[in-house]
Amino acid sequence: MTGTTRTSADLDPRRRRTLYRSWHRGTREMDLIMGRFADAEIGTLTEEELSDFELLIEVPDRDLFRWITDEAETPSNYDTPVYRRMKAFHQHGAPLDL
């Protein structure tokens, strides 16, 4: 995957900017984690959820990756419903059929 699979044509400027920033974080791993979630959910996030997601975009890649992989505890100010939703989006309860 080389990037977003979602068009931003139907999004307002704030959501377009957030979608772009989700796919251009700095490390490929975090691009995929944030970008895939944004592709799937950016159009349904409330304004409050969008604000929470924008705060997550500002977290350094290494810190956010450690929280998502449970290598470090997520600080309470980032442990929001949208963070938990993004984390759950990438968890699999069974092996993937590839």
Write down the residue that tokens 């700095």 correspond to: 26
Amino acid at 47: E
**Domains located in the chain, CATH noted:** 13-90 (1.10.150.250)
Alpha carbon distance 81, 49 (integer Å)? 8
Give residue 26's pLDDT.
85
Between the CA of residue 42 and those of 2, 37, 58, 69, 96, what are the distances in Å? 19, 8, 17, 22, 25
pTM of the complete model: 0.83
Mean pLDDT of 12-36: 92
pLDDT one-digit tens code per residue, 50-63: 999 999 999 999 99
pLDDT one-digit tens code per residue, 41-97: 999 999 999 999 999 999 999 999 999 999 999 999 999 999 999 999 988 665 545
DSSP three-state, residue 73:
coil
